[in-house]
Chains A and B, each alone.
Chain A
Amino acid sequence: MPNISKISLEICSNLPLNRNCYRLELCGDGLPVLKPGQFVQLDIPGKYLRRPISVHDTYDGRIVLIYKTVGEGTKILSQMVPGQSLELLAPLGKGFSPELCRDSALLFGGGLGSAPLFFLAKRLLADGKRVHSILGFNTAGDVVLTDAYRAIGIEPEIVTLDGSFGRKGFVTDAPRPDFDCFYTCGPLPMMRAVCLSVEAHGEASMEERMGCGAGFCYGCTIQTHLGPARVCADGPVFRKEDLIW
């Protein structure tokens, strides 16, 4: 297990990307080294359990998280302002394996699953790999992060379920460029469809309700071909072959 630390960071910005998605930037001393696919557990004032959120980006001593207001905890988080501090546990989980990609990677993102894949894309590009991405959203109003991908030189293929933006359909409906390895993060049905229909090697980042987030409460166990596995500590990223759909 990596050396998990508990640190207090300051909110530098916490701005909406659309009606229910926010981009949170945290800065401060003692920032842990984070790998693409890893997550942090945020201590949200007034909530008993921490909220696990995967890392979207790190730069200049900052951690960037993208989150959606789905419940009370994330709603409280969305109302916090720069200058306030947040305590978090990090780094948590095993991230993606960039070394799985020989030459060219395809990223399948669904909704905010596109956020951690961005961090991976940066790493793959830095390693000299080619990166393509197909990002799926429910509707035009949900589309986020396209500019972020463009800024690092990736033109994402956007699909929406209702066809209100980009191509209509699922991420699996979009034409695929050449690639030798895929990475996916998003809703379970989407990742299931990707893992079952794409032949190449690949990895999927799983999600589950968590307790500790650090591998000792066994609250987020899923069954895999390797036996019971804790999403927080044995994952959240798993090889396609190991997952049972």
Chain B
Amino acid sequence: MVRDLSTEFCGIRLKNPVVPASGTFGFGLELADLFDLNVLGGISLKGTTLEPRIGNPTPRIAECSSGLLNSVGLQNPGIQVLTEQKVPALRMRYSGCIIANISGFSVDEYRECCRAADTCDGIDIIELNISCPNVHGGGMAFGTDAKAAAEVTAATRAVTHKPLVVKLSPNVNDIVSIALACQDAGADGLCLVNTLLGMRIDIKTRKPILANRTGGISGPAIFPLALRMVNQVAKACSVPVMGCGGVCRAEDVIEMMMAGARAVQIGSENLRNPFACKEIVETLTGVMEELGIERLSDIIGCV
């Protein structure tokens, strides 16, 4: 039997739900020689700001049980390089859904960055990153307050006709209220979760391992938390949800979709294994067969 892996997200048909998460797949091009990117349902590009950023000092990476912490700090070449160079170059190699991940330090910056992304033909979806825990005075500050989240969503909504997806932070008491605020302010979809704020200490030097002291936790360690939040938000909101957080195999993709995700992002696993997304796509059919799933879209939100 032919298994149908396709899914629809914000009116866009994805050949399968597998999307490498922002920050774990560069601008796509870095991996274009490793495997044919066209096996992927979508690609979420590295977080981009209005101006270029050099990011945080190193060490930017620490390990933990079943996961890692990062404090890369939005190193990126700026929106102009994204729209004029990175996206057109990726488009030559990839025909699926390209998601631009946009970050900022003020409502104005988010708006101007989205305005620039809106003019770029190669971008299919704008993902508003209001959940980066590694920069001060921006990023997550917008994602942990319903009013600020709504304000930045509305401001960016006004300057783009592209599907607008807001990427939410798990570092909140009530993620549903933030999700509803974004939906009411005009978001076409939601993506959750970004990383959880964490820390590691080198017990020999008695200093934080990360130069930025703290960083975002990701990896299988956070999968149950992400799944719970996806389930809560998918039940409360009418807009589609993209699930993200600790997904590392085909079974996790299916679990996320049962929780309510219409598409699923793979993050940390790419750092362990650059072939992870390709391998997950390849094994999905077999797992569907085992579970008697004919169409993946049939299981979305069944729990």
Contact = CB atoms under 8 A, between A and B. Distances in A.
A binds B: yes
Interface of A: 1-4, 6, 43, 47-50, 89, 208-212, 214-223, 228, 233
Contacts of B272: 43, 48-50
B60 A219 contact: yes
A89 B275 CA distance: 10
Contacts of A233: 30
Given A48-B219, A214-B274, A216-B270, A208 B59 contact: yes
- Main SS class of interface, B: loop
A86 B67 CA distance: 20
A218 B219 contact: no
Given A212-B271, A217-B26, A48 B67 contact: yes
Interface residues of B, number: 35
B77 to A, nearest CB: 9
B3 to A, nearest CB: 26
17 contacts: A1-B30, A1-B33, A48-B65, A209-B60, A211-B70, A212-B274, A214-B30, A214-B34, A217-B26, A217-B72, A217-B270, A218-B23, A218-B26, A218-B46, A218-B55, A221-B54, A233-B30
Interface of B: 23-26, 30-31, 33-34, 46, 54-55, 58-68, 70, 72, 75, 209, 219-220, 268, 270-275
Contact of A221 (B75, B268, B271): B75
Which of B25, B30, B70 has the most C-beta atoms of chain A within 10 angstroms of its own C-beta? B30
A212 B54 contact: no
B180 to A, nearest CB: 33
9 residue pairs, one from A and one from B, having the closest CB atoms: A216-B26, A216-B30, A219-B61, A209-B59, A212-B271, A211-B271, A211-B61, A219-B60, A209-B61
A119 to B, nearest CB: 24
Nearest to B27: A216
Contacts of A50: 272
Contacts of B61: 49, 209-211, 217, 219-220
Given A2-B33, A209-B59, A218-B26, 10 more contacts: A48-B220, A209-B209, A211-B60, A211-B70, A214-B30, A217-B23, A218-B46, A218-B55, A219-B60, A220-B60
B186 to A, nearest CB: 31
